[in-house]
Chains A and B, each alone.
Chain A
Amino acid sequence: MLTMKAQVLIRPKQGILDPQGLAVEEALPALGFSGVSNVHVGRLVELEVDDPAQLDAMCEKLLANPLIEDFEVVLSDSSGA
């Protein structure tokens, strides 16, 4: 069966305080890395699906919480043979 590989990138919505991103942003200069800003920490879900058309619904229902997170679906090569 032909399946598609997909990556779902889930990010905290803009404007919502992201303490994780902030903590990383503050940690980097402490290690000597300067010039870093706008750090946000999200989630990556990798999956293989038979029907990529269902991905948006999967995101809305489970993978992301649309109230607090944005998601982006990235499809890559088919992995089936």
Chain B
Amino acid sequence: MATRFGIVQFPGSCDETDTLLACSRVGDAELLWHKDTDLGGVDVVVLPGGFSYGDYLRVGAIVQFAPIMGAVAEHAAGGGLVLGICNGFQVLTEAGLLPGALLPNTNLRFTCQQADLIVENTETPFTHESAPGEIISVPAKHGAGRFYAPPELLAQIEDGGQVLLRYAEGHNFNGSVNDIAGVTNEGRNVFGLMPHPEHAVDPLTGSDDALKLFHSLASAAPMAVGSGDMT
């Protein structure tokens, strides 16, 4: 049975269509609306990039109270898979589903560039089809992507193998601590990253390196505890 992906569309989302197309390559994908209060039984929830609620107050701050976020938190708590891309990552940290915070880039600019990423921990539903140390080329485009965690939390994230992606040398343009580009939660079922894997699934746009991430998700989803197929 094909894995079902649900991509949440918030007011101000802008990458939901590319995410939908990327997920459609490996499974069935549909859009979910921010005012929905249930996830319609999808296996994987994806929070796409964009500028939800206009980035008012702080990036990702307002959206954590969107009606659908209760169901997303419940899905995550039950072991279901959640992926947050760019703004989706910011939202997940604000909602407390992922550790750390995303601060304005040190260069104070909205920066758009191709970034080389090193896949660190491959023993997760998101990265199990990659080899440890593998380098993937993925576009990144954001103004507030500087990952930060205070020293104690950072040590916990590092020791727990929660860093899944790091910027390769010379590619940490936003000033993230320890070159961190993507982290997972302790349960390893929620993952957030600043670069955009959904824009790197076809050689036509320069790289299909991130297709593996979606394949990983599609094959891991049926095993995840919170999978819609099992409820």
Contact = CB atoms under 8 A, between A and B. Distances in A.
Contact of B150 (A17, A20, A43, A67): A67
Interface size class of A (residues with CB under 8 A): 10 to 19
A62 B65 CA distance: 10
Nearest to B100: A67
Interface in A22-80: 23, 43, 62-63, 65, 67-68
A17 B101 contact: no
Contact of B108 (A16, A20, A43, A67): A20
Given A16-B148, A17-B175, A65 B104 contact: no
B104 A19 contact: yes
B101 A19 contact: no
A65 B94 contact: yes
B57 interface: yes
Nearest to B64: A62
Interface residues of B, number: 19
Nearest to A63: B57
B58 interface: yes
Interface in B59-95: 61-62, 65, 94
A23 B108 CA distance: 9
Interface string B97-130: 0001101111110000000000000000000000
A26 B57 CA distance: 25
Nearest to B146: A17
A68 B108 contact: no
Contacts of B106: 17, 19
Contacts of A65: 58, 61, 94, 101
A8 to B, nearest CB: 11
Contacts of B107: 19
Question: Which of A23, A62, A63, A67 lies at the interface centre, i.e. has the most chain B CB atoms within 10 A of its CB?
Answer: A67
B57 A16 contact: no
Contacts of A67: 100-101, 148-150, 153
Candidate in A16, A19, A20 with the most chain B CB atoms within 10 angstroms: A19
Interface of B: 57-58, 61-62, 65, 94, 100-101, 103-108, 148-150, 153, 175
Interface of A: 16-17, 19-20, 23, 43, 62-63, 65, 67-68
